[in-house]
Amino acid sequence: MSKRHDEGQTVMAKWPGSHLWFHAKVLKNLDGDKYVVRFEEGTEEEIAGHHVLSENYFGRSGSKSPSRRRSRSRSRGRSPGRTTRRRSKSPAIKTPKVAKANLTPTRGSRASPRKAASTPAAKTTPEPKKASPEPKAKSSPEPKATSTPAKITKMEVKKVVEQKSEVVHRYATRSSTNKELVPGLDLKPGAVPKTTEYEFGGPIGAFLLTFLLPATVLYLYGVCNKAHCDLVFVPHLPKTLDAYFSTNAALVFLGWFAFQALIYMLPIGRLADGVPLRDGRMLKYRINAFFAFVVSLAAFGAAYHYKAPFVWVYDNYLQLASTATAFSLIMSVVLYIKARRAPKSALSTVGNSGNAVYDFFIGHELNPRIGSFDLKYFCELRPGLIGWMMINLCLCAKHCSEHGQLSTAMTCVTLFQALYVADALWFEDAILTTNDITIEGFGFMLAFGDLAWVPFTYTLQGRYLVDHPEHDLTNVQAALIVLLNLLGFWIFRASNSQKNAFRRNPYDPKLQRLESIPTNVTNKSLLVSGWWGLVRHPNYLGDLIMALAWCLTCGFNHIVPYFYVIYFTILLIHRERRDHLVCQKKYGAAWDKYCERVKYRIFPYIY
């Protein structure tokens, strides 16, 4: 039973989402069983009454002594779900040992953004701090040994710092834009609530996009091919069905898909944890996409050596694109039917509107799996992304066979895109915390995007260069474009890595020089210097610079090869706006302060 505590009283309060108890001051008694407290290091939290105990509670003799009971909770591999469950069962079995340690690595609240906004904490406008402060336990005077369990040794401080860092590491997100499931605090067991806010124009938009997106792939093929490359309203496309579908194209597509699935299932590569699900479980994901890439390249090399007819891919490009589209459509229907039978807790929060067209498009089930085979995760990086690379190589083979050797432009664009794909595969585990994995269901939007859109629109430059060999780059042009691509890659990689490192461990000594703004979400500060002080999305800036470099390899004779950079600019501006709204909701005043400090969204001094 929780005891009533008065405002201003010093108490022991349990740090949300952890098993740690700290000294805190009661700021407000909300309804008798909830308090707003301020921890010693300044964080304000809303805490359930049974997690607020009198100051001398742990000083009492008897079975509450935490030192006798703490060992299990130190285990590194503990799941946050279990933390939550255990916490609710026995709040008394806790470790107050760090109560005086004044550890301040985590800031803000573990409450959900919406909840936090209603607490006094949300109203505080945080001042920027130096990122990754040294744990105060190091600099503060060593707590005096007392006979109470609140006494602390250096070793214990170190353990707790490590443990907190581990928590940060386990729950930190690299690039997701809506982390309702993050730090084990917002687990909401039970059925997923109905989706009430539509995106992409709701069911009508979803319906139209289901046709418009595949039509765009065909359109690009129809307006830019060997015969011509012009933006015309009616594309030149064949009128017979066999120009779109053939048994061979189906076999090649399915064979490629199966080949990648086989590599994915090999017990090679470590297993990584996903973010905690609603029920507290964390799915395991095999990290071997880069291995799959290397194996695919080796297989390509061997087949090329034995003169495999790779030009076939160019000659049957339209059939392969149609097959990939048809496959993703069929797969999405099957996924939707499967999702209808899935437990209600396994659905996606954004694809559960009850409208079949909308849910089919966005994706109804969050993590559809066949056994341990995760369909969404598999499709996200492997058949499509590696497929993009393989198609590029086949286009190179075609280019060589037609023109005797690779042009400079073709070499550049292939290498640029190879670098981009290799980077995505190398950092495969970054995807586990993105919206695509943690929020979006697996429906037509992702399935088509992964399997058809990426491989058959991102290869447009390569295809253009095969079809239009009259264009090539001079050495100077090539050098400038290479520099531009490297600049983009540097900004993209350095900014992503900086944020990832910060999210993984804000105490990373390498980040100490960076300034950050504390927020009301635990473990989440906002970088306000370094790359993230330049613009709000430096990674998008880098990505767009690379996109421009790829398109520039095609020269200025035609606009169609610039489709990628135009479409991508629109996509990232839209994405940035969505992310801005999510962060505004989540971080409140801290986000406003960040935006005040960092004025430009993507392009410095422009936008």
CB 412 → ligand NDP: shortest distance, Å?
18
Q: Which is nearer to ligand NDP, 177 or 522 (CB)?
A: 177
CB 587 → ligand NDP: shortest distance, Å?
7
Q: Which is nearer to ligand NDP, 21 or 594 (CB)?
A: 594
CB 499 → ligand NDP: shortest distance, Å?
5
Q: Which is nearer to ligand NDP, 52 or 528 (CB)?
A: 528
Q: Which is nearer to ligand NDP, 367 or 522 (CB)?
A: 522
CB 558 → ligand NDP: shortest distance, Å?
22
Let me know: does 323 contact 250? Beta carbons within 8 Å: yes
CB 434 → ligand NDP: shortest distance, Å?
5
**By three-state DSSP, how is residue 523 classified?**
coil
Q: Which is nearer to ligand NDP, 5 or 601 (CB)?
A: 601
CB 20 → ligand NDP: shortest distance, Å?
22
**CA 602 to each of CA 529, 541, 577: distance values in angstroms, whole numbers, following the listed order:** 15, 6, 11
3-state secondary structure 364-400: CECCCEECCEEHHHHHHHHHHHHHHHHHHHHHHHHHH
CB 335 → ligand NDP: shortest distance, Å?
21
Let me know: does 468 contact 400? Beta carbons within 8 Å: no
Residue with structure tokens 């767009």? Answer: 544
Q: What's the CA dihedral at 392, 398, 404, 410 to 10 degrees?
A: -20
Q: Which is nearer to ligand NDP, 446 or 582 (CB)?
A: 582
Q: What is the largest CA-CA distance in the chain?
A: 88
CA 355 to chain centroid: 26
DSSP 46-114: EEEGGGEEETTGGGS-STT-GGGT-GGGG-TT--HHHHHHHHHH-TTS-BGGGTTT---S--SB-S-HH
CB 436 → ligand NDP: shortest distance, Å?
8
DSSP 237-286: ---SGGGT--HHHHHHHHHHHHHHHHHHHSS-S-EEE----TTS---EEE
CB 214 → ligand NDP: shortest distance, Å?
17
Q: Which is nearer to ligand NDP, 143 or 542 (CB)?
A: 542
**How far is it, in rounded angstroms, from Cα 462 to Cα 418?**
12
**How far is it, in rounded angstroms, from Cα 332 to Cα 368?**
11
CB 372 → ligand NDP: shortest distance, Å?
25
Residue with structure tokens 């799941």? Answer: 79
Q: Which is nearer to ligand NDP, 176 or 353 (CB)?
A: 176
Q: Which is nearer to ligand NDP, 173 or 325 (CB)?
A: 173
Residue 23 neighbours by CB under 8 Å, 6+ apart:
10, 11, 12, 13, 39, 40, 55, 99, 100
Q: What are phi and psi of 426, to 5 degrees?
A: -65, -40
Residue 127 neighbours by CB under 8 Å, 6+ apart:
517, 518
Let me know: does 269 contact 258? Beta carbons within 8 Å: no
**How far is it, in rounded angstroms, from Cα 128 to Cα 550?**
38
Instruction: Tell me the residue number closest to ligand NDP, measured at CB.
Output: 175
Selection from 90, 118, 121, 125 nearest residue 31 by Cα: 118
| Number of Cβ within a 10 Å radius of residue 167 | 23
Q: Which is nearer to ligand NDP, 260 or 435 (CB)?
A: 435
Q: Which is nearer to ligand NDP, 407 or 539 (CB)?
A: 539
Interaction site with ligand NDP (CB under 6 A): 173, 175, 177, 179, 434, 492, 496, 499, 502-503, 524, 526-527, 532, 537, 539-540, 543, 575, 579, 582-583, 594
| DSSP assignment letter at 142 | P
Q: Which is nearer to ligand NDP, 55 or 576 (CB)?
A: 576
Q: Which is nearer to ligand NDP, 94 or 537 (CB)?
A: 537
CB 583 → ligand NDP: shortest distance, Å?
5
| DSSP assignment letter at 458 | T
Let me know: does 52 contact 2? Beta carbons within 8 Å: yes
CB 140 → ligand NDP: shortest distance, Å?
27
CB 532 → ligand NDP: shortest distance, Å?
4
Which H/E stretch holds residue 23?
strand 21-29
